[in-house]
Structure 1
Amino acid sequence: MTLKELSFFYKLCDNPQVTQVAQELNISQSAISLAIKSLENKLNEQLFDRLGKKLVLNERGRFFKEKTYSHYLAIKDAKNIFQKNKLAGQMKIAASKTISNYIMPDIYFDFLSQYKEVKFDIETINSTIILEKVLDSKLDIGLIETDFTHSNIIREKLYDDELIIVTSDENYPRTSYIDTIDKKWILREIGSGTREIFINKLGKHTEKLDIFMELHGFEEIKKIVMDNKDCITAISKVAVKKEIENKQLFEIKLKNFEFKREFYLIYHKNKSNNLLFKTFIEYLKNKLH
């Protein structure tokens, strides 16, 4: 069934005079008759009794109208939804844990507060999985910590970050070489952007690390390091800002390494650049730059 066929049907429900309906709609009588016949064929039911030039609604037609008219109005309204409010829709977004936990919450909240017809489907997963989902077009936007290139993905820089080395041991020297740190390393899991940047930057020096535990979440890592002075971790500066200010954790500056990194916005190169998509990306950039 087409909306045009249904439109003619409901018009004739109110006015059985085909000639008058045709004049009102500025179309031929035969166009209306063909549309109604097509509708009846699709339903395998006769909806009108033919009385001269009139199409009079019969009992099956009245039943059909009763069951369908509210749905027809809803569909007509749906056709106009984006004309009434261009900034409406649901976006699928995934962010790596650092970005999701420490940067995005207020941005999500403020954007949704401003645009009432927008919904977010949000995931917090590691950068490797985000890349896979963007390539499979299962996400509209990915927010990651990993520097990479792929022919099917558009990547844009969002934010400058830094990994720092922290311990709860207030007496440990505040500057050190990576090779001389004699503590148990608590690191993120394989596949996380934080871990990959740290390990890749260290190169061959990784062999000298005492990697004691690998965990999925920053909060768990922070708790272990704060509760055990013989432990140490590499973590995003934004993730431990409060703990450093409260002197629960202490930064150890490395003499031979820096762990600067960038956060990236990624999306599939074939992603449609609709108004909602473009507005959110612009909003995100303005908040983070």
Structure 2
Amino acid sequence: MTLKELNFFYKLSDNPQVTQVAQELKISQSAISLAIKSLENKLEEQLFDRVGKKLILNERGRYFKEKTLPHYLAIIDSQKLFQKNKLAGNMKIASSKTISNYLMPDIYYEFLSKYSDVKFDISTINSTKIIENILNSNLDIGLIEIDINNSNLIKQKLCDDELIIVTSDENAPKIAFIDTINKKWILRETGSGTREVFINSLGKYAQDISIFMELQDFEEIKTILIDNKDTITAISKNAVKKELESKKLFQIKLKNFEVKREFHIVYHKDKSTNLLFQTFIDFLKSKFKN
């Protein structure tokens, strides 16, 4: 069934005079007759009684109108939906854990408060899985903490970040070589952007890291560190800001090493960049810039 066929049907259900309906719609009578016949053939039911030059709605036609008219009107109304509000829609967004837990909550809240017809489907997964989901078109936008070069992805920088070494041992040296730190390393799981950037930055010195435990959540790692002074981790400075200020954790600066990285927005190169999509991208950039 087409919207045109349905439109003719509803017009004739209110006015059986085919000539008058044709004049109103500025088309030929034969065009209306052919459309109604096509509709009836698709339904395998006769909707009108042919009485002279009139098409009179019969019992099957009245039933069809009763069941379908509300849906037809909703479809017609939906054609104007985005003309009324171009900043409406449901977006699927995933962020890596550092970004999701420590940077995004207030940004999500502020954007949704500003645009009430927008909904977010938000998930928190590691950067590797975000990239997989973007490539499989399961996400609209990803926020990652690793550098990636893929011809099917568009990548835009959000901001800089720094990874630091922390422990709860207040007597630990403030500056040290990586191979002189005699503590148990607690790191994120394989696939984590934080772990990947840290290990890659160490180069050949990565062999001096003996990983005691791997966890998926920063809060779990921080809890272990605070309760056990013989442990240590590499973590985003953003993730331990409160703990450094309260002196629950202490930074150890690495000699000859400074671990910097960038946070990025990524999306598929074939993603349609409508007004809602671009507005959110611009909003993100402005917030991270500030």
- Range class of TM-score, shorter chain: over 0.9
* Correspondences of 1:1-289 after superposition (within 5 Å): 1-289=1-289
AA aligned opposite 2:223 = K
Provide the C-alpha distance between the structure 2 equivalents of 1:10 and 1:245, rounded to a whole number of angstroms: 70
Deviation per CA, 1:230-272: give whole Å up to 9, x if none: 1011000000001111111111111221011100111111111
Provide the C-alpha distance between the structure 2 equivalents of 1:278 and 1:30, rounded to a whole number of angstroms: 47
TM-score (norm 2): 0.98
Deviation, structure 1 residue 179: 1.3
AA aligned opposite 1:5 = E
Alpha-carbon contact 1:167-1:225 (below 8 Å) kept = yes
RMSD, aligned α-carbons: 0.8
Deviation per CA, 1:4-24: give whole Å up to 9, x if none: 111111111111111111111
Structure 2 SS opposite 1:240: helix
Question: 159-168 or 169-178, which moves further after superposition?
Answer: 169-178
Q: Would you identify which runs of 4 or more consecutive aligned residues in structure 1 move more than 6 Å?
A: none
Alpha-carbon contact 1:93-1:122 (below 8 Å) kept = yes
Structure 1 SS opposite 2:224: helix
Provide the C-alpha distance between the structure 2 equivalents of 1:56 and 1:243, rounded to a whole number of angstroms: 79
Structure 1 SS opposite 2:266: strand
Deviation per CA, 1:80-99: give whole Å up to 9, x if none: 11111111111111111101
Deviation per CA, 1:188-239: give whole Å up to 9, x if none: 0111000001001111212122311010010000000010001011000000
AA aligned opposite 1:19 = T
Provide the C-alpha distance between the structure 1 equivalents of 2:209 and 2:117, rounded to a whole number of angstroms: 50
Provide the C-alpha distance between the structure 1 equivalents of 2:271 and 2:208, rounded to a whole number of angstroms: 44
Structure 1 SS opposite 2:93: strand
Deviation, structure 1 residue 171: 1.4
Alpha-carbon contact 1:178-1:256 (below 8 Å) kept = no
Q: Which runs of 5+ in 1 are unaligned?
A: none
Structure 1 SS opposite 2:31: helix
Deviation per CA, 1:104-150: give whole Å up to 9, x if none: 11111111111111111111111111111111111111110111201
Provide the C-alpha distance between the structure 2 equivalents of 1:243 and 1:171, rounded to a whole number of angstroms: 16
Provide the C-alpha distance between the structure 1 equivalents of 2:282 and 2:34, rounded to a whole number of angstroms: 50
TM-score (norm 1): 0.98
Deviation, structure 1 residue 3: 0.7
AA aligned opposite 2:211 = I
